[in-house]
Amino acid sequence: MSDNLTLPAPQGTSGTPADALLEVKGLTKHFPIYGGFPIKRRVGAVQAVDGIDLTVGVGESVGLVGESGCGKSTTGRLITRLLEPTAGSITYAGQDITHASRRQIAPVRSEIQMIFQDPYSSLNPRQTVGSIIKSPMEVNGIEPEGGREKKVRELLELVGLNPEHYNRFPHEFSGGQRQRIGVARALALNPKLIVADEPVSALDVSIQAQVVNLLQEVQRELGIAFLFIAHDLAVVRHFSQRVAVMYLGKVVEVGDRESIYNRPRHPYTHALLSAVPEVGVDSEAADRERIRLSGDVPSPIHPPSGCRFRTRCWKAQDKCATEEPPLVQLSGNGDGHLTACHFPEDPTTGSRGDDIVMDPALMAMEEGDTPEA
């Protein structure tokens, strides 16, 4: 994979694209919890995803970021229909696939593919690389020109592996190479949309860049739309034209890359960006705001009422507990930049007069320091 390919300019970066490939409306997934003896009854539900709206345009790359437990992986699995949605709708290329049966969804399945996080558990150790990449074609009865084996060899070459390795087993490859096999498998059916669930987070830093570059080339050259799920904000920024930020099953802010990273409005986006440890000199670091939240993400079994972020938010007021903020375009936001907050922050990531420190232990220690200083 050479680096000096002429790449077409990335697609328009602002707003919602006119031709949506995938449209998700009010998507909800509640996992029931059963308890009691001797008859198990439903006692509650994990509200993993709770009414999210998302659009992915043709050939567009959308990033989905959030912390663990915010429902980003569940969203990916709902879209690929590996999980059955509780409510809401998924429209793929104008066709409603929310509750489509196996037979109805068969033609769509081959167009939506997935790349998994862990390259060690997502490849069958008893199958050769050739049969792993070939099996999607067999399942879908696709006979490419020149035979399946030829296609597999082409795919191996495309992802930067040696086509001679056709008959090897996954354990003979390193982590980065395995992830390339996963990419080749996802490409076997010429998909239009790939859901990549943390595709690089299990890899070492030096290998991550190889896979990110590969995915980027695939996306630009083959015009495949990506839903890129990751917790690493810098990788998402590098890869995605639009970004959605999730918190506890909700999308709290969505917009083009520029808006989310440079003009965020939601306090959670501010906190998230400020928490990313960056390689920087002290003077550079001083330009960024410092926000330290307290505690962990609340349980999705009993999420806070109203705005779900209010329990960790420094701007929370009574209104936040009673009224759920809608995901809307705030005044001053660019097109397609939507924020769900009653009291949005200023659109900047620069440092403010005071640091926001919510953590009690940190607060105690830092206040202890100040009188001496």
Partner 1 sequence: MTTLTKTEDASAPTGPESFLSVRDLKVQFSTEDGIVKAVDGLSFDVERGKTLGIVGESGSGKSVTNLTILGLHNPRTSTIDGEIVLDGKELVTAGERELERLRGNKMAMIFQDPLTALSPFYTVGRQLSEPFMKHRGASRKEARDRAIQMLEKVGIPQPKVRFDDYPHQFSGGMRQRAMIAMALMCDPELLIADEPTTALDVTVQAQILDLLKDLQQEFGSAIIFITHDLGVISHMADDLLVMYAGRAVERGTVREVLHEPKHPYTWGLLSSMPRLDSDLDQHLTPIPGSPPSLLNPPAGCRFHPRCAFKEEVQGNLCSEVRPPLGDGRAAACHLTAEQKQTIFIDKIQPRLR
Q: Show the binding pattern over residues 16-55: x = contacts partner 1 (CB under 8 A), - = does not.
A: ----------------------------------------
Q: How far is the CB of 260 from partner 1 (least distance, A)?
A: 11
- Residue 241: name the closest of 220, 264, 221 by CA: 220
Contact 147, 229 (CB under 8 A): no
Nearer to partner 1, 223 or 360 (CB): 360
Nearer to partner 1, 234 or 328 (CB): 234
Contact 200, 235 (CB under 8 A): yes
Nearer to partner 1, 66 or 88 (CB): 66
Task: Give CA–CA dist 56/112, Å, rounded.
Answer: 12
Task: Give CA–CA dist 12/360, Å, rounded.
Answer: 44
Range list of β-strands (E), the chain? 20-35, 41-57, 61-65, 87-92, 95-96, 112-115, 193-197, 225-230, 242-247, 250-256, 291-292, 338-339, 356-357
Task: Give CA–CA dist 348/351, Å, rounded.
Answer: 9
Should residue 318 be labelled a site residue for partner 1 when binding is judged by CB under 8 A? no
Nearer to partner 1, 144 or 175 (CB): 175
Query: Cβ-count burial of 240 within 10 angstroms (0-12 exposed, 13-18 middle, 19+ buried)?
Result: buried
Nearer to partner 1, 22 or 129 (CB): 129
Residues 6 or more apart whose CB falls under 8 angstroms from that of 164 comprise none
Task: Give CA–CA dist 149/319, Å, rounded.
Answer: 61
Interface residue with partner 1, options 280, 326, 332, 350 (CB under 8 A) = 280
Q: Show the binding pattern over residues 111-150: x = contacts partner 1 (CB under 8 A), - = does not.
A: ----------------------------------------
Contact 161, 77 (CB under 8 A): no
Contact 152, 138 (CB under 8 A): no
Task: Give CA–CA dist 311/329, Å, rounded.
Answer: 23
The 8-class DSSP code of residue 37 comes to S
**Segment 63-92, which members bind partner 1 (CB under 8 A)?**
67-68
Should residue 276 be labelled a site residue for partner 1 when binding is judged by CB under 8 A? yes
Should residue 168 be labelled a site residue for partner 1 when binding is judged by CB under 8 A? no
Nearer to partner 1, 175 or 336 (CB): 175
Should residue 273 be labelled a site residue for partner 1 when binding is judged by CB under 8 A? yes
Should residue 342 be labelled a site residue for partner 1 when binding is judged by CB under 8 A? no
Nearer to partner 1, 144 or 336 (CB): 336
Nearer to partner 1, 59 or 176 (CB): 176
The encoded tokens of residue 182 equal 């996963």
Interface residue with partner 1, options 104, 121, 124, 174 (CB under 8 A) = 174
Interface residue with partner 1, options 177, 269, 311, 333 (CB under 8 A) = 177
Interface residue with partner 1, options 26, 107, 295, 326 (CB under 8 A) = 295
Q: Parallel, antiparallel, or unpaired for β 20-35 and 87-92?
A: antiparallel
Of the candidate spans 45-53, 181-189, 190-198, 295-303, the one that interacts with partner 1 by CB under 8 A turns out to be: 295-303
Should residue 212 be labelled a site residue for partner 1 when binding is judged by CB under 8 A? yes
Which residues make up the interface to partner 1 (CB under 8 A)? 3, 67-68, 174-177, 204-210, 212-213, 216, 231, 233-235, 237-238, 257, 261, 271-281, 285, 292-297, 359-362, 364-366, 369
